[in-house]
Structure 1
Amino acid sequence: MPEKQQSPTGRPRDPDVSERLIAAALEEYARTGWQSFTMQGVARRAGVGKSALYRRWTTKEELLIAGVESVALPLSETSDSGNLREDLTDAATRILHHFLDPTGWATLRISVDSTASPTMLDPFQERVTQAIRSGITAIFTHAADRGELTSDVPVRPLVESLVGSILVHVLSMPFDVRDDARQNAAAHVEPLVDVIMRAASPQPCP
């Protein structure tokens, strides 16, 4: 006679609830900033009890780390199609979508708030900044390895120029244009990528 299997103790964690809590945490932070960011506010925004939140994270620092890591990983991923322009366009499209989303505004607000609380918030800001920088840097590195770029091209200014131009593009975008930007992101980032391509390409000798 087969042994009766014991039921696992406790209620298993629902990944959908975890994802909803992380999304709510980033939206809450985007609207309130660090000083007013509370576990209670996140639970209320997510529509779950505080106990569900505290079973996963015991402090708002742990919760914000989870939120930042959830957006940092996709931003650090890179494609290697064998073509610099295509890879930059893909990365720029993902960054554009990031800044058009409430999660993007949360990471932007972390950067602003870190000027007032650098000791507390610098680690959060650095995770996102490093994710964006490392992903695009890898694209330029692959291009240099293929011979599309010379090894002396200053990569960091190019990375910062691309990310900065995308952010300014979003900040200056009228609200009624944002839906078009989400649906036709490539058309919005291609002019910005063109500028970077011209700056990165070796100049012909006179």
Structure 2
Amino acid sequence: MPRQATPHGRPRNPELDEKLMTAALLEYAQLGRGAFTMQGVARRAGVGKSALYLRWENKEQLLLDSVESVALNLRVNVDTGSLTGDLTALATALLDHFLDPIGWATLRITIDVTADSTDLQPTLGRIARTLRSAAAEAFKRAVARGEMAPETAHEPLIQSLFGAVLMHRLSQPREACAHTRAHLAEQVGPLVDVVVRSAQQQKK
């Protein structure tokens, strides 16, 4: 379930909240930071601008709530019985996310806000923890199965996996994106293998 937007005296309407946040991400994906406005989001969503300001004080908070809503849906925490399977499920979902216009918009927003605002760092930290949680659970299960040594540091492995998937997305020309989305597991396989080998080295 997406996190609820900040209330301003109106009963929550989750369907409308979701519609507004989706509109915000699509608007950002099309126009970018410079041309993004609350008026544009309202127009895209087919509502009055007051509907936005009843929920969010400013466009920065709207964008961050929208990003966090998407991040919650990315918490792919599937126990496949192996570290390779668990990380493949997560990396597949992540690559598919980056290939989607809304997913790509969430990345751009996070980078832009990180560069400009220190006041919103707690929200950014919460988003990062949400995205890392599934990978952290996968590594904990691997330790319990005996696939990894208990003392293996998880955070560098998590960063390696996310960074590798992101760089793979950046290397894809536009015309190759459809093929990539049709073969996600095949695309992330070599990236996952590198992370799994690194995770298991300390066990030897």
User: Would you call these one fold, judging by a TM-score over 0.5?
Assistant: yes
Deviation, structure 1 residue 101:
1.8
Residue correspondence of structure 1 range 132-151 to structure 2 within 5 A: 132-151=131-150
Whole-angstrom CA distance in 1 between matches of 2:154 and 2:48: 47
**Could you say which residue in structure 2 is the equivalent of 1:49?**
48
Distance 1:21 1:83 in 2: 39
Give unmatched runs, 5+ long, in structure 2. Answer: 1-10
Give 1:84's aligned amino acid: L
TM-score normalized with structure 1 length:
0.81
The secondary structure found in structure 2 opposite 1:141 is: helix
Structure 1 contact 72–127 (Cα < 8 Å) conserved: no
- CA distances 1:47-84 after superposition (whole Å, capped 9, x unpaired): 33324434444532442243122112122341122211
Q: 1:118-157 maps to which residues of 2 (within 5 A)?
A: 118-157=117-156
Contact 1:110 1:121 in 2 (8 A): no
Alignment length (residue pairs): 194
Please list every run of 5 or more consecutive structure 1 residues that lacks an aligned counterpart in the other structure.
1-11
* SS of the residue 1:119 aligns to: coil
Alpha-carbon shift at residue 14 of structure 1 (Å) = 6.3
Are the equivalent residues in 2 in contact too, given 1:99–1:167 (CA < 8 A)? Answer: yes
Please give the alpha-carbon distance, in whole angstroms, between the structure 2 residues aligned to 1:65 and 1:23.
12
Q: How does 1:151-170 map to 2 (within 5 A)?
A: 151-170=150-169
Aligned residue for 2:109? Answer: 110
Among all aligned residue pairs of Structure 1 and Structure 2, give the percentage whose two residues are the same amino acid.
Answer: 51
Instruction: Assess, with a 3 A threshold, how the Cα gap between structure 1 residues 42 and 123 changes in structure 2: closer, same or farther.
Output: farther
TM-score, length of structure 2 as denominator length = 0.82
Matched, 1:27 2:34: no
| Cα distance per residue 1:100-147 (max 9 Å; x no partner) | 122322332234324531314433432332222121011101110121
SS in 2 for 1:45: helix
Given that residues 100 and 178 in structure 1 are in contact (C-alpha distance below 8 angstroms), is that contact kept between their aligned partners in structure 2?
A: yes
Q: 1: CA distance between counterparts of 2:126 and 2:203?
A: 38
Q: Which residue of 2 aligns with 1:9?
A: none
* Residues 147, 42 of structure 1: alpha-carbon distance in 2 compared, 3 angstrom cutoff: same
Change (3 A) 1:192 1:156: same
SS in 1 for 2:115: coil
Whole-Å separation in 2 of the counterparts to 1:65 and 1:93:
24
Which amino acid is 1:73 matched to?
L
Separation in structure 1 between the aligned mates of residue 15 and residue 182 of structure 2, nearest angstrom: 26
Report the aligned-residue RMSD: 2.6
Q: Judging changes above 3 Å, is the alpha-carbon distance between structure 1 residues 48 and 182 closer, same or farther for their aligned structure 2 residues?
A: farther
1:49-88 mapped onto 2 (5 Å cutoff): 49-88=48-87
Contact 1:68–1:127, Cα closer than 8 Å, also in 2: no
Which range is displaced more, 137-146 or 104-113? Answer: 104-113
Q: Within 2, Cα distance between the matches of 1:84 and 1:116?
A: 34
